[in-house]
Amino acid sequence: MTDSLASDERIVPMRLQRFLARAGVASRRGSENLMTAGRVTVNGKVASELGTKVDPLVDVVAVDGVVVRLSEGFAYLMLNKPAGYLTTMSDPHGRPCVASLVPTKAYPGLFPVGRLDADTTGLLLFTTNGELAHRMLHPSTHVWKHYVALVKGTPSKRELSALSQGVELEDGPTAPARVSLLDDADPVCRPVAPGRVPRGHAVVGISIHEGRKHQVKRMMEAVGHEVVRLHRDVFGPLALGDVAQGSGRELSAEERAALEALH
pLDDT bracket for residue 71 (50, 70, 90) = low
Supply the pLDDT for residue 24. 74
What domains can be seen in the chain, in order of their start residue? 3-72 (3.10.290.10), 76-138+239-260 (3.30.70.580), 144-235 (3.30.70.1560)
Active site positions, annotated? 117
Give pLDDT tens digits for 175-219. Answer: 999 999 999 889 999 999 998 899 999 999 999 999 899 999 999
pTM summary value: 0.78
DSSP result, the chain = --HHHHTSS---SEEHHHHHHHTTSS-HHHHHHHHHTT-EEETTEE---TT-EE-TTT--EEETTEEE-GGG---EEEEEEPTT-BSSS--TT---BGGGGS-TTTSTT-EESS---TT-EEEEEEES-HHHHHHHHSGGG---EEEEEEEES---HHHHHHHHH--EETTEEPPP-EEEEEPTTSGGGTTT-SSSPPTTEEEEEEEE----TTHHHHHHHHTT--EEEEEEEEETTEE-TTPPTT-EEEPPHHHHHHHHT--
Give pLDDT tens digits for 19-62. Answer: 888 777 877 788 899 999 999 999 999 999 998 999 888 899 99
Supply the pLDDT for residue 105. 79
